[in-house]
Amino acid sequence: MQKRMIYQTEETRNRIMEVATRLFTENGLFEIQMKDIAIKAEVSRNTLYRYFQDKSDLALEILTQMLNSLIEQNVKAVNKDSQMSNLCGWERLKLIFHKIWIEPGFANELKFMAEFDAFYSGSRLSSAFLEKMHKHISTELDDYLLEIVKSGIADKSIRADRDPHLMVITMINAIRGLKQRLILRANSLVEVGDFEREHMLSEFLDIIFDGIKGDK
């Protein structure tokens, strides 16, 4: 009897998260309220609040799950790539960024992250919520990329006059920000045509990596 209750609890929790992820991604965090999620998930509001204390709690749980999944998939994909062993640090880093940010995929996840960033800013980002984010969100991918940057500095393929950690964090946020903007704005970026829009990420990646290239 106890096992059945655990299964039902997990099943309900997963259903709530699936429904909330879809609603948040399609309509944005500004528009969707907990009552909307309860209706679509076919649970009472009291039941919903037994799983998640508020919208912030639910959104952070979704973000954490998404980020951890992205990190796991990306690191596995990179480690399986047979090209990696023969590349210098700069080449390895560029290949990883290309796989993560340039190749198609993760559009819904990145759209949700963009919605999350827009909603949880300014006064909505309390110190308590920020502390929860630090506890829940993994830095595994950041640490992985940092080691590659350090190897590139060691083999002189990456410039050594920049702080490695700051370099990694800046690059991740810059390329992710552009990809999120392209996903959210789709065909409504009036300053570029279709061809330019399709190649913006690759162009931006080339610019970034030209900037960090070493003397090798």
Q: What is the CATH number of the domain that holds 36?
A: 1.10.10.60
79 falls within a domain: yes
Residue at a domain's end among 52, 72, 92: 52
pLDDT value of position 205 = 94
Report how far residue 18's alpha carbon sits from residue 119's, in angstroms, rounded to the nearest whole number: 19
pTM: 0.76
Q: Please name the amino acid found at residue 118.
A: A
Q: What is the CATH number of the domain that holds 201?
A: 1.10.357
Report how far residue 28's alpha carbon sits from residue 120's, in angstroms, rounded to the nearest whole number: 12
Do 47 and 70 sit in the same domain of this protein? no
Do 163 and 77 sit in the same domain of this protein? yes
Number of domains into which the chain is organized: 2
Domain span at residue 8? Answer: 1-52
Do 190 and 121 sit in the same domain of this protein? yes
195 falls within a domain: yes
Helix, strand, coil shares of the chain, percent, nearest 5, are 80, 0, 20
What is the residue whose two structure tokens read 């999120």?
180
What is the residue whose two structure tokens read 């290949």?
95
What is the residue whose two structure tokens read 């099943």?
11
Residue 202, phi then psi, degrees to nearest 5: -65, -40
- Write the DSSP assignment of 80-109 as a string of letters: T-TTGGGS-HHHHHHHHHIIIIISS--HHH
Do 47 and 68 sit in the same domain of this protein? no
pLDDT value of position 3 = 42
22 near 115, Cβ under 8 Å?
A: no
Q: Block means of pLDDT (10 residues each) for the chain, length 216 residues?
A: 49 93 89 94 91 90 85 71 78 87 78 83 72 77 90 96 95 88 72 74 93 88
pLDDT value of position 122 = 67
Do 1 and 104 sit in the same domain of this protein? no
Do 70 and 170 sit in the same domain of this protein? yes
98 falls within a domain: yes
Q: Which of 67, 61, 71 is nearest to 140 (CA)?
A: 71
**Alpha-carbon Rg for the chain in angstroms:** 20
58 falls within a domain: no
pLDDT value of position 99 = 81
User: How many beta carbons lie within 10 A of that of residue 108, not counting itself?
Assistant: 14
- Identify the DSSP state of 167: H
Do 195 and 90 sit in the same domain of this protein? yes
Do 47 and 84 sit in the same domain of this protein? no
188 falls within a domain: yes
What is the residue whose two structure tokens read 């300014």?
122
Do 47 and 110 sit in the same domain of this protein? no
28 near 35, Cβ under 8 Å?
A: no
C-alpha separations of 25 from 37, 113, 159, 183, 204 in Å: 12, 9, 39, 12, 26
Report how far residue 153's alpha carbon sits from residue 88's, in angstroms, rounded to the nearest whole number: 10
Do 73 and 140 sit in the same domain of this protein? yes
pLDDT value of position 81 = 66
57 falls within a domain: no
pLDDT value of position 5 = 37
Do 27 and 109 sit in the same domain of this protein? no
pLDDT value of position 1 = 37
140 near 75, Cβ under 8 Å?
A: yes
Do 204 and 106 sit in the same domain of this protein? yes
200 falls within a domain: yes
- Identify the DSSP state of 122: G
- Identify the DSSP state of 189: -
16 falls within a domain: yes
